[in-house]
Amino acid sequence: MALSESQPCNSACTCSIHLSRSSGILLHPTSLHGRYGVGELGPEAFEFIDFLQAAGQKLWQVLPLNPTGYGDSPYQCFSAFAGNPLLISLDRLAEIGVLDRAELRYAPKFCDCEVEFGRVIPHKRDQLLSAARTFFRDSSPQQRAELDAFREAQRRWLPDFALFMAAKEAHGGVAWTEWDPALRARKPKALADWRERLAAQIADHEYWQFEFFRQWRSIQTRCAERGIHIMGDAPIYVAHDSADVWANQNSFWLDEAGRPLTVAGVPPDYFSATGQLWGNPIYRWDLMRESGYQWWIDRLRAIFGLFEIIRLDHFRGFEAYWEVPAGEPTAVNGKWVEGPGRELFIALRNALGNLPVVAENLGVITPEVEALRKEFGFPGMAIAQFAFSKDEQAPSFRPHNYVRNLVAYTGGHDNDTMIGWWRSGVEDSTRTEAELRKEKTDTAAYFGVTKEQLDREVNWLFIRAVYASVARIVLVPMQDVLGLGSEARMNVPGTMGRNWKWRMKPGSLTSELAERLREFTRIYER
């Protein structure tokens, strides 16, 4: 069912997402299995889409698909517009003749349970360089014309991104604030000189973006054929070391050298006595307003070209955001600053029409934030894993309290898996022994089962509960469908080294698993 053909929940519905009662799976493409060390947009992605259809699912949610930078995080990217070349399928490049299929047989042996970024990135880059050399040497006039058409279609961001990446490599990978001063400041002569000097490298990056978007279009086509909608993710902030900030320095609070004056984060709360210091530069909302929020219009237009629905991360920051002076060691000494609020979303809606947006409204949420969300009909989120925690939102996360205009999860990419959460102790969280006992006792009482039954299948009890709820959309991380423990956790906020690496092992997508999910969708009419 196409989004435009779906029926609203009732005659008075103000939902921004016109999608019937549905369920889906959260799985980032890097977590797909495959021979080359990282999930790709190739055969394994098509296999997963077919599994979703067999399992009766209607949604595939992914994390941001942009090129990752610091810490390999999809939330710290070199561009909010570009695609991640790591996701390009080498097998599909071989199919079109720009890679030698015989050489791919000798690819290194990579771990099949996690992404070894330190090994995968250089190997993948060598293969992509080889593909680019072949394309520019052997491509037909028609193929060159297709690349030129892509460049023209993406002219608002592609030239700056390709130059940014080529210049970053030419400067040894350091942040753009450490580049040649004239290039850092985007002096016209310096831009022209560096474009000429790095013409070949710039062309490589443009070609990789061409291939990424071509492969993603085939993913979109396969999903449409199988009745699957794709839901993406839009972080509110962009990384400081990105083409977005370098090319739009006036749109951020920066000093004359390009360094942030203020940075983003969240204040101290139940889970962190010092808050979270993200370090992203803060937008100059006053100047963005003068342009009619054109950068945001361009950004969301690009994102909606990739996805039918987007999860808008840290939605509360659009109403008011936590601003911390640059250089502070923690987020404690910040302050709340009024955000663009409804004015931004009116501009976006006027330019783009209906906004199929899910508002990430987790954490300490004020009535003003909820009023903004409801005014535009954006569904909020509920995380069932928090239903019996000390979080003030816990009662609203219990499935019997859900509302229809809601996206319900067992857990999210920042949470432990359901199995990992259930088996964890106080050493793994901020809970005390008493709070841990109460959480587990309340969970068992809620489901009316014994602790032994929860030990066996706590993941499926929670999956059933969110499926049975009135929430219009339900999404379950693939790790919970597979019943995996903490070893499969995607991210632990505030830590480095083990995040974003989990991969699904070959053979995980069984017919038995698909049938179990399909039966849930039948029983609970999803």
Catalytic machinery residues: 313, 360, 414
How many other CB atoms sit within 10 Å of the CB of residue 441? 12
Contact between 163 and 199 under an 8 Å Cβ cutoff? The reply is no
- Output helix, strand, coil percentages for the chain, rounded to the nearest 5: 45, 10, 40
Helices (H), 396-450: 418-423, 433-447
CA atoms in the 13 A half-sphere facing the CB of 320:
14
Pair 242, 66: CB distance under 8 Å: no
C-alpha span between 320 and 343 (Å, rounded): 13
Q: How far apart are CA 306 and CA 214, in angstroms?
A: 11
Please, what is the angle between helix 199-225 and helix 141-153, to 10°? 90
Could you tell me if 87 and 65 are in contact, meaning their C-beta atoms sit under 8 angstroms apart?
A: yes
**Sign, CA torsion 329/331/335/338:** positive
For residue 421, give every residue at least 6 positions away whose Cβ sits within 8 Å of its Cβ, in sequence order, or none.
385, 411, 415
**2 burial via Cβ count (<10 Å: 0-12, 13-18, 19+):** exposed
- Taking only Cα atoms into account, the Rg of the chain, rounded to an integer number of angstroms, comes to 23
Q: Please, where are the H alpha helices in 61-198?
A: 90-95, 101-104, 117-138, 141-153, 158-170, 181-184, 188-197
SS3 22: strand
CA angle 130, 135, 139 (to 5 degrees): 160
Distance CA 385, CA 502 (A): 20
Q: How many CA atoms lie within 13 A of 179 on its CB side?
A: 26
